[in-house]
Structure 1
Amino acid sequence: MSTPRRFISGVVEGFYGRPWTMEQRTELFKRQQKWGLNTYLYAPKDDYKHRMYWRDLYTAVEAEQLIALISVAQQHDVEFIYAISPGLDVTFSNPREVTALKRKLDQVKSFGCRSFSLLFDDIETEMCPADKQAFSSFAHAQVAITNSVYQHLGEPETFLFCPTDYCDAFCTPSVSQSSYLHIVGEELLPGIDILWTGPKVVSHKISVESIEEVSTVLKRAPVIWDNIHANDYDPQRLFLGPYKDRPTELIPKLRGVLTNPNCEFYPNFVAIHTLATWCKYSPDGGQTDAEMGDEGQDPCYRPQKALTLALIDWLQEFQSTDGPGARLKKDSSDEEPMQTDVGESAYVPGPEENPLYTAEPLTLYDLKLLSDLFYLPYEHGLTARTMLQELDWLKNHSSAVAANTDQTAEWRSRAQQFDEMCEAVVQMFNRLSNASNRSILYDLYNYICDIKSGVGLARAYVKTLGGHGQPSAQLMNDEPEPWGFRGGLSGEFQRMLPCHGNRDLFRHPPMTQVYCIRPYCPEDKVQVQRILKETRCSGGGSTPLMMQPPLICDGLSAGELPPSPHCALVIEDGVGVCGYALALIDAKQAAAKIQRAVSDPMFEDFPSLVTMQVLPHVTDSSPAKRTIGHLLSSVRNNGSKGVFCEVRRSDQRMLNFYTNVSFKPIKMAGLPPEVIAMGTRL
Structure 2
Amino acid sequence: MPNTRTKRFISGVVEGFYGRPWTMEQRTDLFKREQKWGLNTYLYAPKDDYKHRMYWRDLYCDKEAEQLKALISAAQRHNVEFVYAISPGLDITFSNPKEVAALQRKFDQVKGFGCRSFSLLFDDIERDMCPADKQAFSTFAHAQVTITNQVYLHLGEPEIFLFCPTDYCAAFSTPNVSQSSYLHTVGENLLPGVDILWTGPKVVSHHITVESIEEVSCVLKRAPVIWDNIHANDYDPQRVYMGPFKDRPTELIPKLSGILTNPNCEFYPNFVAIHTLATWCKSGADGGQRDIEMSEEEQDPNYSPQKALRMALTDWLQEFLITDQPGGPRQTDEPMQTDGGELAYVPGPGENPLFTAEPLTLDDLNLLSELFYLPYEYGPTARTMLHELDWLKSHRGVVTTATVTDKTAEWHSRAQQFDNMCEAVVQMFNRLSNAPNRRILYDLYDYICDIKSGVGLARAYVKTMVCFLSTGGRGGPSAQLMNDDPEPWGFRGGLSGEFQRMLPCHGNRDLFRHPPMTTVYSIRPYCPEDKVDIQKIFSDMRREEEGTMTTQDSLISYSLAVGDLPPSPQCALVLEDELGLCGYALGFTEVKLAAAKFQRFLCDSVLEDFPSLITMQLLPRVIDPTPANRMIASLLSSIKATGSKGAFCELRQNDCRMLDFYNKLGSFKAIKMSTLPQEIIIMGISL
TM-score bracket, normalised by the shorter chain, equals 0.7 to 0.9
Change (3 A) 1:298 1:503: closer
- Contact 2:45-2:86 within 8 A present in 1 as well: yes
Tell me what 1:341 maps to.
Answer: 340
After superposition, what is the alpha-carbon deviation per residue over 1:117-161, rounded to whole angstroms, capped at 9, x for unaligned? 000000000001110011000000000100000000000000000
Task: Please say if 1:483 is aligned against 2:489.
Answer: yes
Structure 2 residue 547 is the aligned partner of structure 1 residue 505: no
Alignment partners' CA distance in 1, 2:259 and 2:80: 14
Asked whether 1:309 is paired with 2:307, we answer no
| Distance apart, 1:573 and its partner CA | 7.5
Instruction: State the SS of the aligned residue for 2:358.
Output: coil
Alignment of 1:243-262 (within 5 A): 243-262=245-264
| Structure 2 equivalent of residue 430 of structure 1 | 430
CA shift for structure 1 position 201: 0.1
Q: SS of the counterpart of 1:467?
A: helix
Which residue does 2:644 correspond to in 1?
none
Aligned residues: 517
Q: 1:21 to 1:476 in 2, by over 3 A?
A: same
- Percent of aligned positions with the same letter in both sequences? 77
Deviation at 1:281, TM superposition (A): 3.1
Per-residue CA deviations over 1:175-234 (Å, capped at 9, x if unaligned) read: 000000000000000000000000000000000000000000000000000000000000
Q: Is the 8 A contact 1:9 1:279 kept in 2?
A: yes
Structure 1 position 271 matched with structure 2 position 277 = no
Residue of structure 2 in register with 1:161 after alignment: 163
Q: Which residue of 1 aligns with 2:606?
A: none
Structure 1 contact 54–84 (Cα < 8 Å) conserved: yes
What residue number does 2:30 align with? Answer: 28
AA aligned to 2:262 is N
1:320 alignment counterpart: 322
Contact map agreement 1:515 1:572 (CA 8 A) in 2: no
Query: Within 5 A, what are the aligned runs for 1:209-228?
Result: 209-228=211-230
Give me the whole-angstrom Cα distance separating, in 1, the residues matched to 2:141 and 2:327.
Answer: 49
Contact 1:7/1:282, CA 8 A, preserved across alignment: no
Q: Distance in 1 between matches of 2:665 and 2:164?
A: 40
SS at match of 2:42: strand
Task: Tell me whether 1:66 sits opposite 2:68 in the alignment.
Answer: yes
Per-residue CA deviation, residues 419-460 of structure 1 (Å, 9 max, x unaligned), is 000000000000000001000000000000000000000001
Pick closer, same or farther for the CA change 1:298–1:240 going to 2, 3 Å: closer
Q: Secondary structure at the match of 1:92?
A: coil
Aligned mates of 2:160, 2:79 — CA distance in 1: 15
Alignment partner, residue 354 of structure 1: 352
Deviation at 1:282, TM superposition (A): 4.0
Which AA in structure 1 matches 2:160? Answer: T
Q: CA deviation at 1:3?
A: 6.2
- 8 Å CA contact retained: 2:170, 2:201: yes
In 1: Cα distance, 2:183 partner to 2:35 partner: 35
Query: How far apart, in 2, do the equivalents of 1:220 and 1:374 lie?
Result: 35
Offset, 1:510: 8.6
TM-score w.r.t. length of structure 1? 0.72
Contact kept, 8 Å, 1:320 with 1:326, in 2: the verdict is no
Q: In 2, Cα distance between the equivalents of 1:174 and 1:261?
A: 27
Partner of 2:660: none
The answer as to whether partners of 2:19 and 2:265 remain within 8 angstroms in 1 is yes
Q: Distance in 1 between matches of 2:207 and 2:218?
A: 19
Alpha-carbon shift at residue 352 of structure 1 (Å): 1.5
Alpha-carbon separation, structure 2, partners of 1:220 and 1:496 = 46
CA offsets 1:32-54 (integer angstroms, 9 cap, x no match): 00000000000000011100000
Gaps of 5+ in 1: 517-570, 578-616, 620-682
CA distance in 1, matches of 2:272, 2:350: 45
Q: Distance in 2 between matches of 1:439 and 1:359?
A: 18
**Structure 2 CA distance for aligned equivalents of residues 447 and 200 of structure 1:** 26
Task: Give 2:110's aligned residue.
Answer: 108
| TM-score, structure 2 as length reference | 0.72
Asked if the contact 1:515–1:574 (Cα under 8 Å) also holds between the matched residues in 2, the reply is no
Code of the residue aligned with 2:353 in structure 1: it is P
- Per the alignment, residue 450 of structure 1 pairs with 450
CA–CA distance in structure 2, aligned partners of residues 6 and 421 of structure 1 = 46
Highest CA radius of gyration, 1 or 2? 2
The one-letter amino acid paired with 2:371 is: L
Between stretches 69-78 and 274-283, larger displacement belongs to 274-283
Contact 2:329 2:435 in 1 (8 A): no
Say whether the 8 Å CA contact 2:209–2:252 is kept in structure 1. yes
Separation in structure 2 between the aligned mates of residue 311 and residue 153 of structure 1, nearest angstrom = 42
CA shift at 1:400, angstroms?
1.2
> Which amino acid in structure 1 is aligned with residue 328 of structure 2?
R
- The residue type paired with residue 84 of structure 2 is Y
1:87 & 1:504 partners in 2: Cα distance? 34
Alpha carbons 1:326, 1:436 under 8 Å: kept: no
Shift, 1:401, TM fit: 1.3
- Which residue is equivalent to 1:366? 364
For 1:459, the equivalent position in structure 2 comes to 459
1:455, 1:332 → 2: CA distance?
A: 34
- The separation in 2 between residues aligned to 1:75 and 1:329, in whole angstroms, is 35
- What CA distance in whole angstroms lies between the structure 2 residues aligned with 1:327 and 1:79? 35
Shift of residue 75, structure 1, vs aligned partner:
0.3
CA deviations 1:335-371 (Å, max 9, x no partner) are: x98x6522x1221101111100000000111011011
- 2:250 and 2:300 in contact (8 A); partners too: no
1:466 alignment partner, SS class: helix
Q: Would the alpha carbon gap of residues 618 and 270 (structure 1) be closer, same or farther in structure 2, given more than 3 Å must change?
A: farther
| 1:394 is the counterpart of 2:400 | no
- Which secondary structure does the structure 2 equivalent of 1:236 belong to? coil
Please give the alpha-carbon distance, in whole angstroms, between the structure 2 residues aligned to 1:66 and 1:161: 21
Q: Distance in 2 between matches of 1:331 and 1:391?
A: 41
1:291-306 maps to which residues of 2 (within 5 A)?
A: 291-293=291-293, 300-306=302-308
SS at match of 1:501: coil
Preserved CA contact (<8 Å) 1:292 1:306: no
Q: Tell me which stretches of 4 or more aligned residues in structure 1 moved more than 6 Å.
A: 328-333
Cα distance in 2 between the residues matched to 1:482 and 1:148: 56
- Give the CA deviation at 1:508: 2.2
1:411-426 mapped onto 2 (5 Å cutoff): 411-426=411-426
Is the CA contact 1:326–1:439 (under 8 Å) kept in the aligned structure 2?
Answer: no
Structure 1 pair 330–121 and aligned structure 2 pair: CA distance change class (3 A): same
Give structure 2 stretches of 5+ with no counterpart. Answer: 469-474, 523-624, 632-663, 667-687
Q: Which amino acid aligns with 1:478?
A: D
Distance 1:70 1:331, change over 3 A: farther
Distance 2:99 2:210 in 1: 39
Q: Distance in 1 between matches of 2:79 and 2:136?
A: 42
